[in-house]
Amino acid sequence: MVASGNGAPALPAGIRILARGGSALDAVEACAKFIEADPTDTSVGRGGRPNVLGVVELDASIMDGTTHRTGAVAALAGYLHPISVARAVMERTPHVFLVGNGAARFAREIGANRAQNLTASTRKLWVERLGKAGETPASVRRRAKLLGVVRKTVKEERGTVNFLALDRRGDVASAVSTSGWAYKYPGRVGDSPIIGAGNFCDSRYGAAACTGYGELAIRGVTAKTAVDRLASGMPVDVTAQAAIADANALEDAAFNIVVLSADGAHAAATNREGRRYVWMTAAMKEPATALRALVPRERRGSPSSRASARAGSLR
């Protein structure tokens, strides 16, 4: 299994499932649930940071790389495990993606665990951020127009958890769960629940999932592009770095990817210093951590940015 750095505490639970012959799909779901239930991770599930109105809106997706069955939810409020609701969308509906009120209605219908995902500490962070924008919970809720406030409340505070798994049968699966961009406009959906953008896998080639500025992964169809690159024979490290070069060619914003190939090779890349990722196999007692390859953004038009563009970016 491979995960974003914040997924480390969950990996032993996922590996236990794989070691006893369980499926990659069960492993990635179990791991995502672990982090969703952890209130100390302020980027996922319970304890995730809310939108500008103080509502924790969760996005999640899960994919089976063998059948390409997938399920996703976005802007889901009031439930503990968006990843399990996403899996139920995949397994129990004729659809792949439910959002907002419809996703919550479906979660209620299947008896999903309800939760108050705004914790005392994330409420405090939200009130502080509103204060810096000259607002209070009461004032912001009264507003007819939110855009001006959101321009002040959103900074580079995002976060997500990615899990990629390869099981004994050679099936690959991937799961992504997030509370998205902190203090976002209500209804903002990032890349995490969008198959092909923040999450994609194909058991023939491998899997990829993103964290960071989700709008970039949507615009670049990043996870699918990465798996296409694996399919074309590109090694995992070059694939991960090409994804960051693509993002860098568009905007200067934090962006990260993890990649796992169908033969178990893995790599991760970022455009910010010091970012890590983790992995674990059934032969390991605990997860290993490594620095992601750094692909810094070059100034537009510099010789090296043109070289990296030739090596794998959009242009």
Strands in 70-76's sheet, in edge-to-edge order, are 97-99, 70-76, 58-64, 172-178, 161-166, 2-4, 276-279, 288-291
Residue number with the shortest CB distance to ligand ASP? 214
Say whether residue 214 binds ligand ASP (CB under 6 A).
yes
Of 160, 178, 211, 239, the catalytic one is: 160
Coil vs helix vs strand at 217? helix
Is beta strand 293-294 parallel, antiparallel or unpaired with respect to 266-270?
parallel
Please choose, out of 23-31, 144-152, 156-164, 228-236, the segment that lies near ligand ASP by the rule CB under 6 A.
156-164
Q: Rounded CA gap, 157 and 173, in Å?
A: 27
DSSP state of 223: H
- Looking at the Cβ atoms of 18 and 154, the one nearer to ligand ASP is 154
Q: Considering the rule CB under 6 A, would residue 42 count as an interface residue with ligand ASP?
A: no
**Complex with ligand ASP: residue 129 or 158, whichever CB lies closer:** 158
d(CA 110, CA 191): 25
- Is residue 45 close enough to count as binding ligand ASP by CB under 6 A? no
Q: Taking a C-beta distance cutoff of 8 angstroms, is the pair 22, 31 a contact?
A: no
Judged by CB under 6 A, the residue of 33, 158, 224, 275 near ligand ASP is 158
- 289 assigned to active site: no
Does 211 participate in binding ligand ASP (rule CB under 6 A)?
Answer: yes
Least CB distance from residue 198 to ligand ASP, whole Å?
6
| Binds ligand ASP by CB under 6 A, chosen from 7, 50, 71, 190 | 190
Note whether 257 and 209 are within 8 A (CB): yes
Asked if 79 touches ligand ASP (CB under 6 A), the answer is: no
Do the bridges between strand 293-294 and strand 70-76 make them parallel or antiparallel, or are there none, so unpaired? Answer: unpaired
Interface with ligand ASP, residue 82, by CB under 6 A: no
Our CB check for ligand ASP shows the closer of 5 and 65 to be 5
Based on the shown chain and the rule CB under 6 A, indicate whether residue 191 belongs to the binding site for ligand ASP: yes
User: Alpha helices of the chain — where are they, by DSSP H?
Assistant: 11-19, 24-36, 82-92, 100-109, 120-132, 137-142, 147-153, 214-220, 222-231, 236-250, 303-312
What is the set of active-site residues? 160
Interface residues toward ligand ASP, by CB under 6 A? 158-160, 178, 180-181, 190-192, 198, 211-212, 214
